[in-house]
């Protein structure tokens, strides 16, 4: 039985997720229990996972078909779960993930329409059992607002290059998940200031740690 805490960050492109995870890392470095935190990313987090990440996000010669894309994400997750996440949680660590199961539902389920949300959950359950994050931060921003931010990005990966319709479906996927599991999700207004968002996130994490202590 796991003893630690698993926190995930989710959101569409240009939601500010990477910025907030970076700030959280800096905040954790000021804590006495900083060694009890572990930051990971999906896809990736292991040597195999990082190679899969490169195939998924940057491989243009023979880009994955939708079904291959789904299975590659799940392969990376299975490796990360068994090699990194579960051992860390069993040691009582606080694992913070840049994306997890919810991204698969939003991107490969709603946007790619490969499988239904329920089918993806069943596939996830086959591989990882009932394992889901204890707390998920969803940085909410509309596709229209996100695209305005993307205009200033110097380069985009394969997912970020998808059009408006794709990202609208991603948004709908996250909205569905938040309605389905309101107790797990902490919905953050991604249009708020960076400082306010960071403060809200750290407050929620601290409250969660106190509650579970």
CATH label of the domain that carries residue 98? 3.40.50.300
pLDDT of residue 150: 62
Mean pLDDT of 74-83: 97
More confident residue, 182 or 159: 182
Radius of gyration of the chain (CA): 17
CA gap 94, 212 in Å, rounded: 12
Q: What's 160's DSSP letter?
A: T
CA gap 20, 9 in Å, rounded: 9
State yes or no: pLDDT of 157 exceeds 70: no
Bridge partners (DSSP) listed for residue 140: 189
State yes or no: pLDDT of 177 exceeds 80: yes
Domain that holds residue 81: 5-212
CA gap 134, 4 in Å, rounded: 10
CA gap 56, 33 in Å, rounded: 35
Which residues neighbour 78 within 8 Å (Cβ) at sequence distance 6 or greater?
Answer: 127, 128
CA gap 102, 133 in Å, rounded: 10
CA gap 51, 44 in Å, rounded: 7
Confidence band for 211, pLDDT divided at 50, 70 and 90: confident
Helix (H, G, I), strand (E, B) or coil at 145: helix
CA gap 177, 180 in Å, rounded: 5
Mean pLDDT of 206-212: 91
Confidence band for 59, pLDDT divided at 50, 70 and 90: low
Confidence band for 161, pLDDT divided at 50, 70 and 90: low
Helix (H, G, I), strand (E, B) or coil at 6: strand
Indicate the average pLDDT of the chain. 92
Mean pLDDT of 105-111: 96
Mean pLDDT of 167-192: 97
The tally of domains found in the chain comes to 1
CA gap 134, 122 in Å, rounded: 19
Mean pLDDT of 176-191: 98
């Amino acid at each position: 039985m796991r003893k630690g805490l698993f926190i995930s960050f989710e959101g569409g492109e240009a939601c500010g997720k990477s910025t907030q995870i970076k700030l959280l890392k800096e905040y954790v470095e000021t804590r006495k229990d900083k060694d009890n935190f572990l930051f990971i990313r999906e896809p990736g987090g292991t040597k195999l996972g990082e190679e899969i990440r490169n195939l998924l996000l940057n491989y243009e010669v023979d880009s994955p078909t939708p079904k291959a894309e789904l299975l590659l994400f799940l392969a990376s997750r299975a490796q990360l779960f068994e090699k990194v996440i579960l051992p860390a949680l069993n040691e009582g660590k606080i694992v913070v993930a840049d994306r997890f199961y919810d991204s698969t539902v939003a991107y490969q389920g709603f946007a790619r329409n490969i499988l239904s949300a329920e089918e993806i959950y069943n596939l996830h359950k086959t591989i990882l059992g009932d394992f889901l994050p204890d707390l998920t931060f969803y940085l909410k921003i509309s596709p229209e607002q996100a695209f305005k931010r993307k205009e200033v990005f110097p380069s985009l990966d394969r997912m970020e290059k998808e059009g408006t319709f794709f990202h609208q479906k991603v948004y709908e996927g996250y909205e569905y998940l938040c309605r389905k599991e309101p107790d797990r999700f902490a919905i953050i207004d991604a249009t708020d200031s960076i400082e306010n968002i960071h403060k809200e996130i750290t407050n929620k994490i601290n409250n969660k740690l106190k509650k579970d202590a």
